[in-house]
């Protein structure tokens, strides 16, 4: 009996999905032992036919509703990371809590980073849509608590809850896209979701400044509630392909690796606290910072031992993270997003502090990079299925980002408009080319059952990388100001400049000393962009590890005679 005949002998189904194994080296065994050796030696791998009927891929208006809901959801999540930036001065005035400024962002990052690796397990066991909506509901609850906060501590708690919800939103968006359309149609849609949602990062300061100035800073958080209701309406009534069996509580406790989470979360919290405190609230060689680093290392070592013991049921399975394509994608995506976050934070700081622009205009001046990133992500997402290879786009994108970051480090007080626009165009083009390539690599090169966990690891790498590099950049900026201000403005107290903030120093510096302070500020920000250049170079090299698999579309649905 030949291969085709052995397949028709399977349980009768009207339609079955033909899947080609992602690893071309894997052998696919026929259920019929009579398959000849000659049929097994064909160059084209034998497809695996699902034994159970599957639903059609989502298309038309239903697909439009799903993609719209995901765009709104991820847009709000990224908007929430930057909208508070221009509202913080008013918040600290209302609560008389200037010392809590760092915690308004750190609490969000800590909660998101600690929970993110576990989100893949949730999507594996509970499916895409309802898990996404559950995380989004937690995010909305945190936003509500921030909006009604009557103290600084309550606001910090609300930010932490919002971060917990945000930890599963982007991973869930990619998971839902993978469930809704064939693999070869995923890249353009993921580019659309990523590109538009990235606008939230740049629009955050614009929207936050306008709401704070013309209404109240509380609307920076209330704005998430009505838009969140739209997200729920768009997704609740759409049925996705595939069904998920609700696991028992015993399965939840054992398979979700909650003990691993209780070890991992404190390790990450101690690490990020050490980076937040070091050089700011405490000296780097203080007992507090050293103790936090040691505690993080010890706890993480115990976590690694536990994960090795758990095997494939671990929160971070070594069998997944050990795959070259997965750890290469994590490194590339983490470094790329780290460079992106640093640039998004410090380009506006340059314009506000050195050029004296308003918060609103500093956001407008970011549009060259954001628009190129948006259009680039969509165009490249459409090109990947036609070209068949994703790695070249990641390599070229990383190289462009490294060159652009190097050019950004030449910013000075007298830089022309043409230069800062051109440098940002180059940066946005590189980011747009490389942004979704690690996601495509993971979704096309590992088994479907491993995708949610692997995607959670990729998203975690971006959250942790962003938190680390923002901490690094703050340290670089403050230390550079301490060393450069005495050189260019010897009559000015460097600590007073740092304490006054990125724009407040203009009110305390005599006009005769202001030019020297501006030069020191400009050169300090230039050193921050060295971090972006280094991270982008890391993206370039890590991208080579994602492999050279051809993902050109193949026939995915086969009629099976019964």
Q: What share of the chain is helix, strand, coil (3-state, %, to 5)?
A: 75, 0, 25
Give the mean model confidence (pLDDT) for residues 234-256.
Answer: 67
Q: Quickly state the pLDDT bin for 473 (edges 50, 70, 90).
A: confident
For the chain, give the number of residues: 562
Short-list 240, 130, 239, CA closest to 181: 240
8 versus 368: the higher-pLDDT residue is: 368
Q: Quickly state the pLDDT bin for 534 (edges 50, 70, 90).
A: very high
Mark out the alpha helices in 311-390 (DSSP H runs): 318-321, 324-353, 359-364, 367-387
Q: How far is CA 369 from the centre of its chain?
A: 18
Query: What pTM did the predictor assign?
Result: 0.74
The tokens for 81 are 């990371």
**What integer pLDDT is reported at residue 445 of this predicted model?**
81
The C-alpha angle with vertex 472 and arms to 537 and 516, in degrees rounded to 5, equals: 100
Query: What letter does residue 506 receive in the DSSP assignment?
Result: G
Give the mean model confidence (pLDDT) for residues 269-294.
Answer: 83
User: In terms of C-beta distances under 8 Å and separation of at least 24 residues, what long-range contacts does 358-361 make, across chains too?
Assistant: 358/209, 359/85, 359/86, 359/205, 359/206, 359/209, 360/205, 360/206, 360/209, 360/210
Least confident of 26-35, 182-191, 454-463: 26-35
According to DSSP, the β-strands at 557-559 and 48-49 are unpaired
Q: How far is CA 267 from the centre of its chain?
A: 20
Give the mean model confidence (pLDDT) for residues 309-321.
Answer: 82
- Which among 176-180, 245-249, 475-479, 514-518 has the top mean pLDDT? 514-518
| Residue 356 zone, left/alpha/beta (φ > 0; ψ -120 to 50; rest) | left
| CA torsion through residues 472, 470, 528, 401, sign | positive
Q: What is the DSSP string of 121-149?
A: HHHHHH-SHHHHHHHHHHHHHHHHHHHT-
Instruction: In whole angstroms, give the CA distance from residue 4 to residue 314.
Output: 39
**What integer pLDDT is reported at residue 367 of this predicted model?**
83
Query: What letter does residue 33 receive in the DSSP assignment?
Result: T
Torsion of Cα atoms, 367 then 369 then 375 then 376, to 10°: 180
Answer for the pair 333, 458: CB distance below 8 angstroms, yes or no: yes
Residues with Cβ < 8 Å from 323, sequence gap 6 or more?
Answer: 445, 446
Short-list 285, 81, 98, CA closest to 198: 81
Residue 544 has pLDDT above 90, yes or no: yes
Residue 184 has pLDDT above 80, yes or no: no
Pick the CATH number of 60-256+315-479+529-546 from 3.40.50.1100, 1.20.1250.20, 3.30.1490.20, 1.10.150.240: 1.20.1250.20
Distances (CA, A) of 228 to 126, 134, 138, 225: 21, 12, 11, 5
Across-strand partners of 281? none
Q: Parse the chain into domains and list their residue ranges.
A: 60-256+315-479+529-546, 257-314
Render pLDDT for 475-508 as a digit per residue (tens, 0 to 9).
Answer: 888 888 888 999 998 888 888 888 777 777 888 8
Burial of 182 (0-12, 13-18, 19+ CB in 10 A): middle
């Amino acid at each position: 009996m030949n291969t085709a005949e052995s397949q028709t002998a399977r349980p009768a189904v009207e339609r079955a999905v033909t899947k080609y194994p992602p690893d071309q080296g894997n052998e696919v065994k026929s259920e019929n032992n009579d398959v000849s050796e000659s049929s097994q030696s064909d160059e084209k791998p034998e497809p695996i036919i699902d034994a159970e009927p599957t639903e059609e891929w989502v298309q038309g208006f239903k697909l439009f509703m799903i993609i719209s809901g995901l765009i709104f959801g991820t847009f709000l999540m990224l908007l929430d990371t930057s909208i508070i930036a221009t509202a913080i001065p008013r918040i600290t005035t209302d609560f008389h809590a200037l010392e809590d400024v760092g915690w308004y962002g750190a609490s969000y990052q800590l909660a998101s980073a600690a929970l993110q690796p576990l989100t893949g397990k949730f999507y594996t066991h509970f499916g895409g849509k309802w898990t996404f909506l559950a995380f989004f509901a937690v995010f909305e609850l945190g936003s509500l608590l921030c909006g009604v906060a009557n103290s600084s501590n309550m606001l910090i708690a609300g930010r932490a809850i919002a971060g917990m919800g945000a930890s599963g939103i982007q991973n869930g968006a990619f998971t839902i896209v993978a469930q809704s359309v064939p693999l070869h149609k995923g890249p353009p849609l993921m580019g659309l979701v990523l590109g538009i949602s990235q606008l939230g990062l740049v629009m955050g300061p614009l929207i936050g400044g306008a709401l704070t100035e013309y209404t109240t800073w509380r609307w920076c958080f209330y704005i998430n509630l009505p838009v969140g209701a739209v997200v729920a309406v768009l997704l609740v009534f759409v049925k996705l392909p595939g069904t998920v069996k609700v696991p028992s509580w015993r399965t939840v406790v054992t398979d979700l690796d909650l003990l691993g989470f209780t070890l991992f979360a404190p390790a990450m919290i101690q690490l990020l606290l050490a980076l937040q405190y070091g050089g700011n609230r405490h000296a780097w060689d203080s007992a507090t910072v050293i103790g936090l680093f040691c505690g993080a290392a010890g706890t993480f070592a115990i976590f690694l031992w536990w994960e090795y013991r758990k095997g494939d049921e671990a929160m971070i399975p070594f069998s997944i993270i050990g795959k070259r394509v997965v750890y290469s994608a994590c490194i590339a995506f983490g470094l790329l997003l780290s460079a992106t976050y640093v640039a998004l934070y410090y380009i506006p700081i340059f314009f506000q502090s050195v050029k004296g622009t308003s918060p609103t205009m500093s956001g407008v001046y970011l549009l060259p990079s954001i628009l190129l990133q948006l259009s680039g992500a969509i165009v490249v997402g459409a090109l990947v299925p036609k070209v068949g290879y994703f790695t070249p786009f990641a390599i070229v994108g990383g190289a462009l980002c490294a060159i652009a970051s190097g050019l950004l480090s030449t910013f000075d007080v007298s830089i022309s408009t043409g230069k800062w626009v051109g440098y940002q165009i180059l940066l946005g083009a590189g980011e747009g080319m490389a942004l979704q390539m690690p996601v495509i690599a993971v979704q096309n090169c590992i088994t479907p059952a491993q995708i949610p966990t692997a995607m959670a690891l990729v998203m975690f790498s971006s959250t942790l990388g962003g938190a680390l590099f923002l901490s690094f950049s703050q340290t670089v900026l403050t230390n550079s100001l301490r060393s450069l201000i005495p050189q260019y403005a010897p009559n000015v107290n460097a600590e007073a400049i740092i304490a006054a903030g990125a724009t407040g120093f203009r009110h305390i510096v005599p006009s005769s000393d202001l030019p020297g302070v501006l030069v020191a500020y400009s050169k300090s920000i230039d050193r921050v962009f060295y971090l972006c250049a280094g991270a982008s170079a890391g993206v370039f090299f890590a991208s080579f590890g994602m492999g050279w698999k051809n993902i050109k579309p193949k026939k995915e649905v086969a009629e099976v005679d019964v």
